[in-house]
Amino acid sequence: MLSEHIIWVGLDVGKRDTVCAIDWLDDNQELNRNKGLTSLAVKHITNTREGVKDFFTWLKANQKHIEERLHPQRKVVYRLVMESTGCYSYRLIKQLKAAKPDSYIALINPAKVPAFKKFNDIESKTDKLDAQCLARLGTTQKPDAMYEMPADYAGLKRLTRMNASLTKISTILKNQLTNLDDPGERQIFQNLLKSVEEQLDGLVVKIREYLRSHAALQERVTKLDSIPGIGMIIAATLIAEYGPEDRFQNIRQVVSFAGMNPKNKCSGTSVKSTRLSKQGAPVIRQMLYMATLTAQARIPILDALSKRLTNLTPMQKRCAVMRKLLMICWSVLCGTENYKEYQPSSKKLVPYEAPATTKRRIKRERKKRSFSPENDAD
């Protein structure tokens, strides 16, 4: 049986074309460092079906060359790594998956490549060098494959993201209207605002229809809608951004995905205040902020949390309440029932009684301490 030999391919994605580079290990698991990054094989392709076809043809041609230098029982397996560049990277991923559905694609944070180049004392900036750095980064760090959102969640995410964008435009137009005195200019902005609000109303109807046609999503939205302060749009946005509940292993990952985890900076005498990392989906924080404006007054736990944090500023309190509300939302989604307000238990607390084995162990330890040499010396 042939064993797999992993070869990493870095892709630096642009608007119209992409630069690809191959990096690999030999049978001794030693990096091809003797020639340096600039010697890695490079290919320029266009972001089209023909370009993707040329890319896989190029990989196949290099595969024969690599297998000649490997053990006969080794089989070359390609893994692709690229930066997350929004619409450009997702468009290329869609074409790669269409050409080869079982492609392994790792999508990494764009901030990792400059950090990797700085670590390796690389000061130049070219598309070719970025692709070579991506390939070497994949070989050394072996990033996980990107998470593929189910089709029903992806469709809902497109609608909710569009709703968030139109809401932002509507807010900008309303703010500009307050600063306009000329009647002609005000009329223009009022017409624009009216058009945007009509599009928003139509989009809300589309979201409702989409939820009706997907029973599983409708059930999850109904659960979140039972929480005070969480409406249909906020619930749909949170569910679309997070996806299925099995995507995350614990609540810490859920909080970090929204960028609500704390970031500490403390070194020697330089001690800075703790801040939010904000390395997550900003639309989630936006929805949580709007939800807490109502939820804090209607959920006793959130109100008690805000009152307890007396040494924090109002915005810091708001962020703490947002994080707590997110944890409540996730616990409701992972449960089987709708939200219920916390009720203190009426049962009397029974004092804890240690088992007999624990009592005997504690008794022996006390006896040893009472007869220790230090006690005898005293």
99-108: pLDDT as tens digits: 999 999 999 9
Does residue 369 or residue 109 have the better pLDDT?
A: 109
Contact predicate 10/136, CB 8 Å: yes
Q: Which phi and psi angles does 44 have, rounded to 5°?
A: -100, 130
Kind and range of the H or E run holding 108: strand 105-108
In the chain, the largest separation of any two C-alpha atoms, in whole Å, equals 98
Supply the pLDDT for residue 174.
Answer: 93
Contact predicate 244/217, CB 8 Å: no
Q: Are strands 275-276 and 74-83 parallel, antiparallel or unpaired?
A: unpaired
Supply the pLDDT for residue 18.
Answer: 94
Identify the weakest region by mean pLDDT among 25-34, 169-178, 250-259, 343-352.
25-34
Contact predicate 177/190, CB 8 Å: yes
Mean model confidence pLDDT for the chain: 86
- The winner for highest mean pLDDT among 202-206, 257-261, 372-376 is 202-206
Identify the weakest region by mean pLDDT among 12-16, 247-251, 367-371.
367-371
Contacts of 276 by beta carbon, 8 Å cutoff, 6+ apart: 259, 260, 261, 262, 263, 319
Report whether pLDDT(373) > 60.
no
- pLDDT tens sequence across 142-199: 999 999 899 999 999 999 999 999 999 999 999 999 888 888 999 999 999 999 999 9
The pTM score is 0.80
Report whether pLDDT(362) > 80.
no
Contact predicate 184/258, CB 8 Å: no
In the chain, the domains with their CATH numbers are 3-141 (3.30.420), 151-334 (no CATH)
* DSSP characters over 279-305: -S-HHHHHHHHHHHHHHHHH-HHHHHH
Number of neighbours of residue 124 by Cβ within 10 angstroms:
9
Between helix 232-242 and helix 282-298 the angle, nearest 10°, is 140
Cα 236 to chain centroid, rounded: 17
Dig out the tokens for 19 from the structure: 């630069």
Contact predicate 329/224, CB 8 Å: yes
Supply the pLDDT for residue 39.
Answer: 67
- The band of 328, judged by pLDDT with boundaries at 50, 70 and 90, is very high
Q: Calculate what percentage of the chain has a pLDDT beyond 90.
A: 55
The whole-angstrom separation of Cα 13 and Cα 85 is 8
Supply the pLDDT for residue 4.
Answer: 80
Report whether pLDDT(371) > 60.
no
Count of positions (residues) in the chain: 378
